[in-house]
Structure 1
């Protein structure tokens, strides 16, 4: 007794010929169904290439289309030829033209000989395992599907909606309990004969012709009528992604396929020369007694699906641009944003670089362009300092910068003069550390030497922008680490506040600060603020700045910053 193979072929005929010859030369009859849509000038050479093998036959051809009855009809006709012409076949193994045997044929023969009545077919009820992909579970058995899902999609959808609207339901033939499973099976001769020669077959066939994707339910349902010796699993390794599409195996999957211990795998890339040479060659080592165990590589596929669906934190790929709010991490690494510090302190970026060793940029969102560290025009990952390119996707600019420089902490300045498009991104990003000295931009305006009318108008504009920005930073949706001080409060206790910031950036740096950045000359700043008030502009974001004091304010009672979580 031996095993016979039924092959459904529609493409890559050269590879199908290679696999069919391998099985036939190892004593296994092969019956091949070739899709009727394959042109005769391709079909005839394929038939002639196997003409020297008397245990290779061809069955009646059908024009096969995914999800339709034609696939079942093709397997029925080929199976009938197998049963009629090869009496020594004990099991019939359904395979496709893209299948590849992973173990010696002798190993498969011995395995099946030890289980002469066992049927290997995935067969599960919908109620117990709702694993289907495509939105139709029970309905695929109770509605009619005369139209192709792929080529007649509009008619398919409209007809389904119509049946739902009128409450139409088909009657399932008496005695049948619908089951689903992989279409790649290996059935015993006794069970397959019972299915194909049952006197009720015409009624069953008529019913399943209008079931959606019948090749995943016809044999899976009927096998339960004729056998109690069913192992609900396939001997063929066939993996699917989250969309229900089959994974394709390439040359670099060689070790993965070996680990599965499965007898056959699909779907193999036709140009995977290394796989075909290795598994169809004479040098492979039989895995005697090894139980097929695709679960051994399930972890790899689960990780692949997770990577495909969710991606990596902070990486936005062209293949999986996420919907807003469905990102897997807005950025990939911690970074710091300083608002108002370079307005209040001279050479703040140089001091911060010396203190924490991070990469400190200027204003990345300045109107005139991104101020990369060192004045570079192009930075990591070919990011340009062009404001036009940056603002085309302001959020993507920041996430790309953090991704391209992962492993090195990035710091940059921000303020009300800059593009504000990133406010919600940084506020809701757990990787962001945002430190704000509100109203500090007044110092730059104070030192600008502009006429007072222009200064008054600009101060009002910038204060409105910063107020809206601070409102976002205080939102209940905030996930960033945020500290906000008024300029007046920060000046009073700047050493402690700077120490807090530095400790958060570099927690391993436990030393106390011995120097602070040099504060800009604020002589006349109090009068400047009072002049603004006198002209009807209230610079409230600066805080309670001392009136009539032109020197640096002496530290008073220590005030703790408030933390927005």
Structure 2
């Protein structure tokens, strides 16, 4: 028995001609359908070029084949009927497109099918079993009507779908039909294909599928279940789709990838992929291997992941406009210290010496970014100018971490800084945030400003820090967060320093600290807080800070209670 080929073409007819000659050279008759939208002059040149092949090539009645419409099924039906009528010795019929290219000797495909005379190779699965559908229509493609073109009349298409949903319209599926879906490109046995085309209920089936959405991916895939005794639910044509449901196009640099797949045919081949056409239409070595597209699935899965998720902290055109599409806010771990530079006079140089990390000042200070060493620009020409930074604070931070990846970045942050970055660092799993709440009051305490000014500023800063801490403690926060109140700090300042050192250099194993920065003088700070309370401003973020605290680092002794009898 011979292998017959149906080819649906609409563009790049010169490439289709070369592939047709490959099929016919292996004694495979070809029935060609040319899209009715293809200009007549091109079709006439195409048919004249193939005239020397005689009866091996014939042309089916032309239909307009618009994506997602019945025309593709009608074209396939007419071409299949013509194939079965003209070539009665054909045992299998292979459906291909003009952009399909045989990857192995055709004789190997013929031998493969001859060993499986009753097998029907067609993807056929119910919508409940696979997550293939893209665009929100799964079961509804079989229960609603789709008289309008999705590509040319999108508003009418969407409006009519919504109207049917509103009124609760639901089509009746013909008796005995269980809708299935799969790839359009199949290879069916003569017996099964003939049974589908000569079914007494064909008019009923055609009338139903004519208003199904994308019927070329469901008509034969559904009806094959009624007649086939041996369905191989896979296509012999290698075709890959991206996350949007669009087919991957193969170019010259995919040559080795296609060879490795061991598949008989591949689509979609770029018309200008000269190397692919020269290679696969030339002499090919015998393989005698089972088609195994799984060999290259990992490459495609990685490509889809790179396109949809990208690299952490690197924003690209395909993802940047889409909120939530970024793969992590930043590309590497970094540390944020809040209040420690207020409590220790030389905190930044001490931490830099101890950890080897880049320790900046307040990157989001109103006057501009305080880069390490007072630099005006850092890696990647990132400027300290506040105007540039504040146009997009999030991208300022993202670029800093990306440009300096491989080196731990640390910086200070406080309520006086630009708070636009607050939620971004809270939701960033790369952030390690250490907070001593209320430490901003130390600079007010030491400022010597009029108390009325201090009180108003303290109230504003406390509200800003309260909002920031609420973000850090929200269920959406993904950063590693540790918060101490001022009251907790004065009882155990070494605990805070130890945590800061370990956060800045987690791989170094800092061990017990042998050097500590100089601590700010907090004598009288408790009385300052009490005065704020007396003026009606309650500094609740400081915790239960005593008016006359014990010496720093020493816990107050508490007398044990005793009982008098």
**TM-score w.r.t. length of structure 2:** 0.87
Are 1:112 and 2:113 counterparts? yes
1:132: which partner in 2?
Answer: 133
The Cα of 1:525 is off from its aligned counterpart by 6.0
1:40: which partner in 2?
Answer: 40
- CA pair 163-346 structure 1, distance change in 2 beyond 3 A: closer
CA distance in 2, matches of 1:488, 1:218: 73
1:515: which partner in 2?
Answer: 515
1:563: which partner in 2?
Answer: none
1:180: which partner in 2?
Answer: 181
1:237: which partner in 2?
Answer: 238
Alignment RMSD, CA only?
A: 3.1
CA distance in 1, matches of 2:556, 2:337: 22
- CA pair 442-305 structure 1, distance change in 2 beyond 3 A: same
Which runs of no fewer than 5 residues in structure 1 stay unpaired? 560-565
Are 1:9 and 2:9 counterparts? yes
Cα offsets for 1:271-320 (capped at 9, x unmatched): 333322322222x32211x1112233333333433444444444443312
The Cα of 1:356 is off from its aligned counterpart by 0.5
2:211: which partner in 1?
Answer: 210
The Cα of 1:325 is off from its aligned counterpart by 6.1
Asked whether the equivalents of residues 494 and 553 of structure 2 are also in contact (C-alpha less than 8 Å), the reply is no
SS in 1 for 2:22: helix
- CA pair 533-135 structure 1, distance change in 2 beyond 3 A: closer
1:352: which partner in 2?
Answer: 351
- CA pair 16-514 structure 1, distance change in 2 beyond 3 A: same
CA distance in 1, matches of 2:69, 2:108: 34
Cα offsets for 1:58-116 (capped at 9, x unmatched): 32221111111100111122223333333443221111111121111111111112222
- CA pair 179-548 structure 1, distance change in 2 beyond 3 A: closer
The Cα of 1:531 is off from its aligned counterpart by 6.4
Asked whether the equivalents of residues 493 and 558 of structure 1 are also in contact (C-alpha less than 8 Å), the reply is no
SS in 2 for 1:472: helix
CA distance in 1, matches of 2:24, 2:75: 20
CA distance in 1, matches of 2:320, 2:84: 52
The Cα of 1:146 is off from its aligned counterpart by 1.9
2:456: which partner in 1?
Answer: 457
Residue-pair matches, total = 555
2:266: which partner in 1?
Answer: 265
The Cα of 1:37 is off from its aligned counterpart by 1.2
1:73-84 mapped onto 2 (5 Å cutoff):
73-84=74-85
2:555: which partner in 1?
Answer: 557
- CA pair 558-546 structure 1, distance change in 2 beyond 3 A: closer
SS in 2 for 1:94: strand
The Cα of 1:556 is off from its aligned counterpart by 1.3
CA distance in 1, matches of 2:521, 2:125: 79
Cα offsets for 1:229-255 (capped at 9, x unmatched): 322211011122333222222333333
SS in 2 for 1:180: coil
1:436: which partner in 2?
Answer: 435
Which runs of no fewer than 5 residues in structure 2 stay unpaired? 558-565
SS in 2 for 1:32: strand
1:405: which partner in 2?
Answer: 404
2:51: which partner in 1?
Answer: 51
CA distance in 2, matches of 1:265, 1:184: 10
CA distance in 1, matches of 2:355, 2:43: 71
2:103: which partner in 1?
Answer: 102
- CA pair 167-544 structure 1, distance change in 2 beyond 3 A: closer
Cα offsets for 1:382-417 (capped at 9, x unmatched): 433332333233233323333333322110011111
- CA pair 441-286 structure 1, distance change in 2 beyond 3 A: same
Asked whether the equivalents of residues 6 and 93 of structure 2 are also in contact (C-alpha less than 8 Å), the reply is yes
**TM-score w.r.t. length of structure 1:** 0.87
2:224: which partner in 1?
Answer: 223
Asked whether the equivalents of residues 185 and 237 of structure 2 are also in contact (C-alpha less than 8 Å), the reply is yes
